[in-house]
Amino acid sequence: MYKAAMRTKRTNPDFLNGVPELLLLSLLSRRPMYGYELVQAIRASTNGTLDFGEGCIYPVLHRLEAEGMLSSRRETVAGRSRVIYRVTSKGSKQLASTTTAWQQIVQAIHQALQGGEHGKPALAP
């Protein structure tokens, strides 16, 4: 799913298109991280459910940075130079609005799958 989301085009709805961005902003809002750390954090926070080419994370990070949602700086971590990413105030706002939208969508789909008021099959046995 994550791999597919990474490759979806802009014409897709936001709830599909914004999944990688949502995850990255959410994890980076907890603490600044570099790319490899982020991948580990995604695996840990999703119990390894999401499978994706780890190299695909960098283009998303770069785009978020170009859009002003992340900032980056080279820092030395454990003796190695790393590009550390941080969420900006714009990124925090985007995260809040995307999280709300995502929760509404999840709730709506869950309701539809469970068969809500208007979700009962027309030809029930």
- The residues of the shown chain that bind another protein, judged by CB under 8 A, are 6-7, 9-10, 34-36, 39, 52-56, 58-60, 62-63, 66-68, 80, 82-83, 90, 93, 96-97
Q: How far is the CB of 116 from another protein (least distance, A)?
A: 23
Q: What is the DSSP string of 66-82?
A: HTTSEEEEEEEETTEEE
Closer by beta carbon to another protein, 80 or else 118: 80
H helix or E strand, kind and range, residue 111: helix 89-114
Cα dihedral 29, 7, 101, 109 sign: negative
Q: Is 39 exposed, middle or buried (0-12, 13-18, 19+ CB in 10 A)?
A: middle
Closer by beta carbon to another protein, 60 or else 105: 60
Closer by beta carbon to another protein, 45 or else 92: 92
Q: How far is the CB of 80 from another protein (least distance, A)?
A: 7
d(CA 8, CA 3): 9
Q: How far is the CB of 17 from another protein (least distance, A)?
A: 10
Q: How far is the CB of 117 from another protein (least distance, A)?
A: 24
Closer by beta carbon to another protein, 59 or else 119: 59
Among 38, 19, 18, 20, residue whose Cα is nearest residue 28: 38
